[in-house]
Copies of this chain bind each other. A is one copy, B any other.
Amino acid sequence: MDHIVPMPEGFRFAAHNAGFRYKERDDVALVVSDVPAAGAGVFTKNLFQAAPVTVAKENLAAGKPVRAVLINAGQANACTGTQGLANCRETLALVAAGIGVAPDEILPASTGVIGPQLKMDIWRKEAPAIAAKLGQSSPLDAAKAIMTTDGFPKIAWGSVEIQGREVKLVGMAKGAGMICPNMATMLGCVLCDAEVAPGDWQEALAAAVDASFNAVTVDGDTSTNDCVLALANGASGVKIATQDELAALGAAVNEICQALAYMIVEDAEGGTKIIRIHVVGAEDNMQAETAARAVGHSPLVKTAMFGRDANWGRIVAALGRSGAEFNPDAVNLAIGGVPVFTAGQPVEGDLDSLLAPHMRRGEIAIDVDLGGGGGEYLLLASDLTYDYVKINADYRS
């Protein structure tokens, strides 16, 4: 077991190679809190919701404390109907029996190929082994077990001092670009040893997810299985009592989610750059998001960034067709801090010279001021490269 990542108190981990899809590596992760924990979850808005999403929502809605998170990689258990739901519940029962909790105290998540039913023969055979491994694995082992097409495991940790004591957090995520419409995109799990009211914990998670995982785009697809789950177990002995303390905890959760979301964009298939699109001056935040997403999803913008070409006309064009309402004559646009379009007019001069160092960097800032209200939005996008096309074109061959 690794001892690199500092763990929050009162959590144990198991990672196991059950063989759902991957034969050479762990493909199931179990996290158990020694004591009942506040649970929270944020789920995909895709109309097709995978069975584990439905079950996790149900278990959270029951309002009981949560004891565990169970994640398998290789099979998404999505679009699997009532059989899929029954299978999902059976996996929880199988593992619950081994670790001495109730099945509905476990939150499930799955990632992998959409359509096929879970391989229940494997689940029935391997569930005791999964439970038996509890405490023998590290958070990093768990982060590796939930990978699908990921190039590297995604894990982040941190701590925050509250009431003079240290509250620790660890988060893990999986997710790269959609390699094809059959593979799920992203999962996340955040663990924390503070005690916090479930409603507050849900709000903290939702806010952090909104500002991080929901504010990244690789190729604009949203999967049936996207979810972020979070447990807060109180094992640190710190009980969140004030709004300030809640804000401090929320900031720590946000930092974890930001780091994980950044890694997801970094791990975009074939991606070479992170495009940091910040829109201000919109009528409201929603309009700012609309404008930012039009830029971040534009293949023309994304290929230009890959090619180190500060082709700002493509950015302006994407803004114009985004549906956001603004006065074109009031728009300002800067790339890497260099103004390229001000008050709706191109900036005269040798922009390429000024932009050269910025276009070479691994992170390129695109700052848009729509010149209107106080709405703003920050989106991280990947670039679009030969390799992305190659990976996704070759997949069918």
Task: Give the B-binding residues of A (Cβ under 8 A).
Answer: 1-5, 138, 140, 144, 151-155, 263, 266-267, 338-339, 347-351, 353-354, 356-357, 360-363
Contact = CB atoms under 8 A, between A and B. Distances in A.
Contacts of A144: 350, 353
A209 to B, nearest CB: 20
A4 B349 contact: yes
Contact of A153 (B1, B4, B353, B360): B353
Nearest to A356: B152
Contacts of A2: 348-350
A133 B143 CA distance: 63
A354 B155 contact: yes
Contact of A347 (B3, B154, B353): B3
Contacts of A356: 151-153
A382 B62 CA distance: 55
A350 B137 CA distance: 12
B4 A338 contact: yes
B349 A138 contact: yes
Nearest to A138: B349
Most buried by B among A263, A351, A354: A354
Nearest to A352: B152
A2 B340 CA distance: 12
A140 B3 contact: no
A4 B363 contact: no
B3 A348 contact: yes
B140 A350 contact: yes
Nearest to A353: B153
Question: Chain B CB within 10 Å — which of A151, A263, A266, A353 has the most?
Answer: A353
Please state the number of chain copies in the assembly: 2
Nearest to A144: B353
Contacts of A263: 357
Given A267-B357, A357-B266, A360-B266, A4 B351 contact: yes
A2 B2 CA distance: 56
Contact of A140 (B154, B354, B363): B354
A180 to B, nearest CB: 23
A257 B38 CA distance: 49
B138 A4 contact: no
A266 B107 CA distance: 46
Given A140-B349, A349-B138, A361-B362, A354 B266 contact: no
A263 B354 CA distance: 11
Contacts of A4: 338-339, 347-351, 354
Contacts of A357: 152, 154, 263, 266-267
Contacts of A349: 1-4, 138, 140
Contacts of A140: 349-350, 353-354
A145 to B, nearest CB: 12
Nearest to A267: B357
A349 B5 CA distance: 10
Contacts of A266: 357, 360-361
A363 B360 CA distance: 12
A5 B340 CA distance: 11
A221 B3 CA distance: 41
